[in-house]
Structure 1
Amino acid sequence: MTNQDDTGRYASSPCMAGEVAPDYFDPLAVDPAQARDVARWRRSERARLRDARQSLSVSERAAVGTALCAHLRELLADRFGGAIGKVFSAYWPIKGEPDLRPLMAELHAAGVTVCLPIVEQKSAPLVFRRWTPDTRMVRGDWNIPVPPPEAERLVPDITLAPLMGWDANGYRLGYGGGYFDRTLAALAPRPFTIGIGFQSAQLATIYPQPHDIPLDVILTEAGQQQISLQR
């Protein structure tokens, strides 16, 4: 890829990671042929789920976003006292993802430190830059708004993970670049991770591979989903 900012670093949402490494699979997988079969299946499922999501009307997407904001607000209140004093990583919505920006602003006003994940270096863990409603956003790769390079870097206590698909074992079908799993593997302690997606995107399985890390919670417009403890 040649799209870089003037610092020489990649500045884009992890949601576009599949366009950085569309054939990503973990070379440490037990069976490379099986890993490639799974990678092909996942590419097909991503395309199907993306088309279904983008076919929703503006009002349908808005209703999903409103419902998810309510469920997330309740979850943060119940588990983290509203996340006051915590570092909370959200995301900037693209490609029909649920829009949680109203809740981001609400959390900031309540005393939560909000940040956004950024791809600064190809095939490396994400970094997190602080966001506020007054942040002067800049255009990163693929024209996605991101906080500027001078924004404070943070390490999240709680992080959201936008989902293309998900299964009842808590595994996430992402965008295919492997950035989110690399990031969770690199962070110590690992942040509490909440998957955000559509109820209709549930899959029987994502065929988890050795690099896949299960999420702590999955939220859809229908509420918190039951995650099996058998992984």
Structure 2
Amino acid sequence: MADDHDEEGPAQYSSPPCFMHELDQEFRAPLSDWTDVRRWRKAERERLIAARLAVSADARTVMSQRIAEGLDAIVGKIAGRMVSLYWPFRGEPDLRPWMASINARGGRTALPVVVEKGQPLIFRAYVPGDRLEKGVWNIPIPAEGDPVLPDIVISPIVGIDPGNYRLGYGGGFFDRTLAAMPFKPLIIGVGYGLQRIATIYPQPHDIPMDRIVTEA
């Protein structure tokens, strides 16, 4: 390939650069600004959620069990530690049985709560059986309780790239919350192998996961 900056004549390419995606399926053309990134993320988010929902409920149950086993291997001794999980939404891994096992082994669990748009989440302690109410998107949240600070945050992913950058639902709650916490918890992203992608085009505000656990 000739030098793009050659002043003596136009650059010569063995193939037009705009067709690189046809030669390499992993090729991703750089996006020029945040508007382009947001547009791409919206389309990719919809594609990945549809792919996740296309997996049968039985298969998702099996994969969720494998993810729970992987979490046990990473977390190790759980007694005395506070773990924030989530209520499964739109085909996300269902870790509620693992949540119950944490409490049975002397750990504590919490769920995230949206307080206000554009603001960090808070975490409220939750034990299976506690009273719940509907939160944003009708996702159940603990009906009462003071905020707590988890030692471990389990976050569902929509997509994940090789740098452990997470594609979420686009509200920005997760990154705001981690940035506002007085200490850094262990952050573990959970999802299915089909949600791995080449890049999310990470921005300065994006915070990578410490670890990723899938059914694999």
Give the share of equivalent positions with the same residue, in percent. Answer: 47
Higher RCO (Cα < 8 Å, 6 or more apart): 1
Aligned to 1:61: 60
Mark the structure with the bigger radius of gyration. Answer: 2
Q: 2:54 and 2:60 mapped to 1: Cα distance? A: 10
SS at match of 1:114: strand
CA RMSD after TM alignment = 1.3
Deviation of 1:33 after TM superposition, in Å, equals 6.0
Q: Deviations over 1:130-162 (max 9, x none)?
A: 1001211112233221101x2232011110111
Q: How does 1:163-202 map to 2 (within 5 A)?
A: 163-202=157-196
SS at match of 1:46: helix
Alignment-mate amino acid for residue 216 of structure 1: D
SS at match of 1:83: coil
Any conservation in 1 of the 2:114–2:136 contact (CA below 8 Å)?
A: no
Aligned to 1:140: 135
| Range with greater deviation from structure 2 (96-105 or 68-77) | 68-77
Q: 1:104 and 1:197 mapped to 2: Cα distance? A: 16
Q: 2:185 and 2:83 mapped to 1: Cα distance? A: 9
Q: Deviations over 1:24-66 (max 9, x none)?
A: xxxxxxxx96111011000010000010001111111111111
Aligned to 1:110: 105
| TM-score normalised according to structure 2 size | 0.83
Q: 2:156 and 2:121 mapped to 1: Cα distance? A: 14
Deviation of 1:169 after TM superposition, in Å, equals 0.7
Deviation of 1:75 after TM superposition, in Å, equals 1.1
Q: Give unmatched runs, 5+ long, in structure 1.
A: 1-31, 223-231
Q: Does 1:100 align with 2:100?
A: no
SS at match of 1:124: coil
SS at match of 1:99: coil
Aligned to 2:13: none
Deviation of 1:170 after TM superposition, in Å, equals 1.0
Deviation of 1:178 after TM superposition, in Å, equals 0.5
Aligned to 2:15: none
Q: Does 1:157 align with 2:151?
A: yes
| TM-score normalised according to structure 1 size | 0.78
Aligned to 2:204: 210
Q: 2:209 and 2:192 mapped to 1: Cα distance? A: 15
Aligned to 2:215: 221
Q: 1:205 and 1:141 mapped to 2: Cα distance? A: 28
SS at match of 1:116: strand
Alignment-mate amino acid for residue 110 of structure 1: R
Deviation of 1:68 after TM superposition, in Å, equals 0.5
Alignment-mate amino acid for residue 43 of structure 1: K
Q: 2:45 and 2:182 mapped to 1: Cα distance? A: 30
Tell me the number of residue pairs that the alignment of Structure 1 and Structure 2 aligns: 186
Q: Deviations over 1:157-178 (max 9, x none)?
A: 1101110000111100011011
SS at match of 2:33: helix
Q: 2:159 and 2:136 mapped to 1: Cα distance? A: 24
